Each structure stands twice: as C-alpha cells, then as structure tokens.
C-alpha cells in the first residue's frame, strides 16, 4: 500500500515551484554528486582490489591494508600525526576556551579589532602562514635535532596557532546560550573566579569543548601545507608521507592508507556534528 501511494504521489504533476523534481535540475545534481564522490569512491573501492594495476577489478582483498600496516615509514608518519594532533588538541582547546570566555564575558577597548586578529589565522592563505612559520623557526634557531616527541614541537606549535581560532568560534557559539546571572550569583555567594569558571562555566561549555577538540584534531591531522613547511628533515607526518608517495606513483597502498585516514576523519566529524546538533536542540528547548 505504501508503495502504491508513493507511486501515486510521484504521478502528481510537477508544480511551478517544484524545481527539485525538474529533470534537468536532477541531472545537474546527480552529475555534481558523481563529480564530488566518484573519485573518492573509486579510491576507496580500489584499495580493496586484488591487482597492482589499480584499474580493473580483480576481486576483494585486504592485502594492501596489511602492506600499509607493515610499512614502517607509514606507521611512523601516522604515529607522528596522531601525536601532533593530540597535543594540538589539548593546547588548542585550553587557549580557545579562555579566548571564547574573555570575548563572551568582558567589554574591553578595541574588542572588534581583537576578534578580527584572532580570526586572522583562519583567513590568510595557508602558504603564507607556512612560510612565515618556516622562516620564524629558522630565524630563532629552534633546534631541529631534538629527541622524539620534542622533534614534533615546531609542527605542533604551528598547528595550535591555526586551529585554536576555529575551536574558539565553536566554543563561543556554545557560550551564547549561557545565562550570565548564574556566574554572577555564584560570585555574590562568595565563589572565587576560578571556582565559578570550573564549576559553572566549564560544565556548560562542555559540548562546545568536545566539538572544538574534535575540530582541532581533524584540522591538525589533515593539514598538509603548513606541516610541509614546518617539518624538519627527519620528521614526517602522514599527509607529508602520502604526498611523497603520490608524487611517486598511484599504488593500492596509498589507496589503503588514504582510506584509513578518510575513515578516521569521517568518524570524528560525525561525532562533532552530532554533538553540535544536540547542542542546537538544547538551545531551542
């Protein structure tokens, strides 16, 4: 019955504003989606393909995943990327929470200019920030032969500088729904500033903090350009490693490694989106 009624609904004439049901528009949309997803889906599909030629389907295999996992350089690069992303996330969230709180709570001179300055790392071209960080670390003589994980410090510092402004925007949005009077009454009742921040503001910020953390983590994990310029000769991150592999050739191992990274990013993004949705729903309620 449901099918029947659906069929009947289909047969309704296309109304003047039913652009969505116009054939030409559907063709453009389908074409666009194929353009956006075709390449990525073939990449993922062919990471399971049992052929080195990487073009004709010869059956399912996981051997390129095994190969990728046995590739020590790839694993090292992946470990580096995760380590950098981890430290970037921690510092970014702390800095972002403080910046968001200050912007939310206080009036101060040149506040609009300050907000613009905090957002600047988001808007300037990546290449400019990359070369600036490269020149900066070279000029101040940052040691490049530190033991692991300190050898990742340059990249981590650069990642924090561009990812905490993103996290600050997310956390700031969350604070909009916070009732100022709660903090004020706590202070009137004798709670210290630190106490108010920890016991009242932070719990409210929490969904924003988690979303900001996931955002910082993905941004750091995905970054290529800025890492490319700040990485020392002996530190390789996952995107940098993939870059050197891609320049070399198109192989199923690269497909497998890429698929792992896509999967990881998608899962993290899905969690972040979910949290944000719940956040919005709470605000409406």
Count of residues of this chain found to bind another protein when the rule CB under 8 A is applied: 83
CA–CA dist 38, 31 (Å, integer): 10
Residue among 86 and 104 whose Cβ is closer to another protein: 104
**Maximum CA pair distance of the chain?**
75
CA–CA dist 130, 153 (Å, integer): 15
Q: Taking CB under 8 A as the rule, does residue 246 contact another protein?
A: yes
Of 103, 115, 215, 226, the residue nearest 166 (C-alpha): 215
Binding residues among 144-203 for another protein as defined by CB under 8 A: 157-158, 160-161, 164, 168, 193, 197
Q: Which residues contact 195 (CB under 8 A, 6 or more apart)?
A: 186
Residue with tokens 């300190």: 150
Work out which of 87, 101, 166, 217 binds another protein, going by CB under 8 A: 101
Number of Cβ within 10 Å of residue 131's Cβ equals 15
Q: Cα–chain-centroid distance for residue 141?
A: 30
Binding residues among 214-243 for another protein as defined by CB under 8 A: 218, 222, 224-225, 229, 239, 242-243
CB of residue 247 to another protein, shortest distance in Å: 7
Residue among 207 and 252 whose Cβ is closer to another protein: 252
Residue among 69 and 260 whose Cβ is closer to another protein: 260
Q: Which range, of 59-67, 71-79, 96-104, 171-179, touches another protein by CB under 8 A?
A: 96-104
Q: What is the DSSP letter of 201?
A: I
Work out which of 250, 274, 280, 283 binds another protein, going by CB under 8 A: 250
Work out which of 6, 10, 12, 108 binds another protein, going by CB under 8 A: 108
């Amino acid at each position: 019955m449901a099918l029947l009624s659906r069929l009947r609904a289909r047969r309704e004439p296309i109304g003047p504003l039913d652009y969505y049901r116009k054939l030409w528009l559907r063709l453009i949309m389908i074409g666009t989606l194929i353009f956006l997803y075709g390449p990525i889906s073939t990449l993922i599909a062919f990471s399971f393909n049992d052929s080195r030629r990487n073009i004709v389907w010869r059956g399912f295999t996981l051997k390129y995943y095994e190969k990728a996992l046995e590739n020590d350089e790839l694993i090292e690069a992946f470990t580096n990327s995760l380590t950098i992303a981890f430290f970037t996330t921690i510092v970014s969230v702390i800095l972002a929470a403080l910046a968001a709180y200050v912007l939310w709570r206080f009036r101060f001179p040149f506040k609009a200019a300050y907000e613009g300055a905090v957002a600047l790392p988001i808007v300037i071209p990546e290449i400019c920030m990359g070369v600036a960080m490269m020149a900066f670390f070279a000029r101040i003589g940052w040691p490049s032969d530190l033991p692991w994980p300190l050898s990742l410090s340059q990249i981590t510092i650069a990642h924090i500088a561009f990812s905490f402004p993103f996290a600050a925007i997310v956390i700031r949005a969350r604070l909009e729904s916070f009732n100022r009077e709660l903090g004020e009454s706590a202070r009137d009742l004798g709670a210290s500033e630190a106490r108010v921040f920890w016991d009242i503001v932070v719990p409210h910020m929490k969904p924003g903090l988690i979303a900001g953390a996931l955002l910082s983590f993905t941004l750091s994990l995905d970054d290529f350009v800025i890492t490319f310029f700040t990485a020392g000769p002996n530190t390789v991150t996952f995107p940098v490693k993939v870059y050197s592999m891609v320049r070399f050739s198109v192989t199923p191992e690269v497909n497998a490694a890429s698929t792992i990274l896509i999967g990881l990013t998608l899962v993290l993004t899905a969690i972040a989106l979910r949290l944000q949705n719940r956040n919005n729903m709470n605000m409406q309620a």
